Structure 1
Amino acid sequence: MEGESDLRRWDELIPDALGLIFRNLSLQEILTVIPRVCKSWGKAVAGPYCWQEIDIEEWSNRCQPDHLDRMLQMLITRSSGSLRKLCVSSLHSGVMFSFIAENAGSLQTLRLTRSEMSDSIAEQIAGRLSAITFLDLSYCSKIGARALEAIGKHCKLLVGLCRNMHPLDTADKSSQDDEANAIVTTMPKLKRLEMAYNVISTESVLKILSSCSKLEFLDLRGCWNVKIDDKFMKGNFPNLKVLGPLVVDFYEINDWEDCSDYSDGSEYLAWEILAGEMGDFDDDEIYDDGMYDGRLEELELRFYDGIDEDAGIYGWPPSP
């Protein structure tokens, strides 16, 4: 047809453009379908174009540890040193923590939720995570103040830290004030800090507020020992959004419009966050200073090697 020659074929798109498109597909589709379409598509997913950001957090929650290690090693190898974001959960192997650190030259965002990282492992790898700006160590029950101190000393660009815990993991702890003190002494540039269900005192929170002068969001849900007056917070930290310590069930709130009028003399709750501002403080928020660029972090990049044999290993049927 006339004018048809002006249209560019899909298989002629540059690998970078194909990589952006493939990011919208599932991990299974990229593994079993895309490489079989044509040589150019297979080449695109085999190169680093798609893998500057790797998010396998959901998948890793339901796979076997040995499968997870193999997957992660293949993904990071494919990134060829360009990895900027990594999200993985339930990581057990100390070897894999070291492997991540060895390939973290460009890594800015790292989520290692529910991992088996220890204080000693954190101390060993922290020096190679110097480019990190956002770190999530939520539900990592085997680390403590030593790990946070090592991370804070080496990760000078850190502006976001998630250290949320499950209530059952902290039920037998008398105090986690040492972790709060590690944050106070080593992480002055924090803008976002999440410490839900940590056993910390009011004094430790006040030290954090004093030391981390750039703090914009603080999650204290379930930190029952913390008592902060509403008027004190608004008078001294008017630009700081605080969530908690009070935990309110969504279904117990009858009228969202009245939430902003809620007040408690001993516990401060930023209702405007619950009422709709949480999107403004997403983990992948864009900060003005450029150290924490969230625009790329909204994209999920998923891929691993082994088109035929590994598909069966990971429990996926071969592509049609």
Structure 2
Amino acid sequence: MAEPSNKTQRQDRNQNPRSWIDLPDDVTASILLQLGAIEILVTAMNVCTTWRKICKDPRKWLTIDMCDVSVYGESPSPYPMDKLCRKAIDLSCGNLVDISVHNFGPDDLLKYITDSCRGIKRLCIVYSDIANSGLIEAAPMLPLLEDLEISYCNYRLDITPFNMFHCIQHGYLEVIGRCCPRLKSLKLNKYNNHNTKYNFDGWDGDAFAIAGTMQGLQHLQLFENRLTSKGLGAILDGCPLLESLDLRQCWHINLEPELAHHWLVKLDEELQSRCIDSIKNLRLPHDSKHDYERLAAEKLVHKEFVEESKNYIVSS
């Protein structure tokens, strides 16, 4: 019997085209996993019944990463980010363990997250309106938390003259430290405009809170923090398990001899030796920030701060 020709095979394929719906569910699921949470919620779930069923599987929502990229441009977001995030949380059916929220989110969203899911191990909040009071309320609901990032959230509280009483703003860290005994990684990244007279003084509130309540930390990033050598010493004493420490842009400490005179910060040679001897991965204040993963958020905050500073000066 003669083998079918290539032409015949092509005709058969054209007459009986394969459909995405005919793919096995596990293959379809693998393909859909390449999409982001927003694309799945807005588009994929509405393609067909089969895709919708696969997208609603709670196992697909153990990790949620949602970012409103519109804030980096001029156009407003076409999506209701808060509503979509809550929908994703609901789809996890309480099984959520890892969630990242970028560029949106009020306090009540954080409350919704912690009320809906009690097994969260990683929480990342970047450029959000979630306040310290919201973090204090949420902390007792996160007993399994191991990895926490709080970057550029309510940044006005970190910058005088917008809040002249910034020294009381570290209380939420103490609550988190006490309520989250499994915490191993903390990224606490802030914005400080170093060109104003208000930010010349160092401040160790964050450092003392971390040192006093987070003894199990292994990884700590304090980008643009105003801690001094005293605060750094407290962290080294209180967090003996630290393996990595990122102090980039922390201008109130100086572990580099050649730059000590330039920044008028007294070099603490003993502290320098302790850092080098005990920390495997150490990033110094003047190290390059080219690989800093929050550069986009930092630039956005700087732009807002410059604009608001102008308005503050005009109204004063």
Q: Residue 66 of structure 2 contacts residue 100 of structure 2 at CA under 8 Å; is this kept in 1?
A: yes
Distance in 1 between residues matched to 2:44 and 2:79, nearest whole Å: 25
Range with greater deviation from structure 2 (152-161 or 95-104): 95-104
Distance in 1 between residues matched to 2:251 and 2:106, nearest whole Å: 34
Q: 2:217 aligns with which of 187, 190, 206?
A: 190
Residue 186 of structure 2 is matched in structure 1 by: 161
Amino acid corresponding to residue 282 of structure 2 in structure 1: V
1:45 aligns with 2:70: no
Q: Residue 68 of structure 2 contacts residue 104 of structure 2 at CA under 8 Å; is this kept in 1?
A: no
Amino acid corresponding to residue 208 of structure 1 in structure 2: I
Amino acid corresponding to residue 211 of structure 1 in structure 2: G
Q: 1:85 aligns with which of 90, 98, 106?
A: 98
Structure 1's 88 and 32: CA in aligned 2 closer, same or farther, altered over 3 A?
A: closer
Distance in 2 between residues matched to 1:19 and 1:134, nearest whole Å: 27
Where does the alignment leave 5 or more consecutive residues of structure 2 unmatched? 5-19, 159-168, 256-268, 294-316
TM-score of the aligned structures, taking structure 2 as reference length = 0.68
Q: 1:22 aligns with which of 32, 52, 56?
A: 32
1:243 aligns with 2:283: yes
- CA shift, 1:118, in A, is 2.2
Aligned pairs, number? 248
Distance in 2 between residues matched to 1:66 and 1:37, nearest whole Å: 18
Encode CA deviations 1:6-52: one digit per residue, 9 max, x unaligned. xxx9656456x644431212445424553355422211112313211
TM-score of the aligned structures, taking structure 1 as reference length = 0.67
Encode CA deviations 1:245-301: one digit per residue, 9 max, x unaligned. 114476xxxxxxxxxxxxxxxxxxxxxxx8xxx9xxx9xxxxxxxxxxxxxxxxxxx
Amino acid corresponding to residue 144 of structure 2 in structure 1: A
Q: State percent identity of aligned pairs.
A: 25
Q: 2:250 aligns with which of 204, 223, 230?
A: 223
Where does the alignment leave 5 or more consecutive residues of structure 1 unmatched? 2-8, 251-273, 283-320
Range with greater deviation from structure 2 (227-236 or 72-81): 227-236
Q: 1:232 aligns with which of 273, 288, 308?
A: 273
- CA shift, 1:226, in A, is 0.9
Q: Residue 11 of structure 1 contacts residue 40 of structure 1 at CA under 8 Å; is this kept in 2?
A: no
Structure 1's 27 and 81: CA in aligned 2 closer, same or farther, altered over 3 A?
A: closer
Larger Rg: 2
Encode CA deviations 1:112-147: one digit per residue, 9 max, x unaligned. 111222222221111001111111101122473111
Report the RMSD for the aligned CA atoms in angstroms.
Answer: 3.4
Distance in 2 between residues matched to 1:151 and 1:193, nearest whole Å: 15
Structure 1's 37 and 231: CA in aligned 2 closer, same or farther, altered over 3 A?
A: closer
Amino acid corresponding to residue 50 of structure 1 in structure 2: K
Structure 1's 236 and 130: CA in aligned 2 closer, same or farther, altered over 3 A?
A: same
Distance in 2 between residues matched to 1:234 and 1:49, nearest whole Å: 42
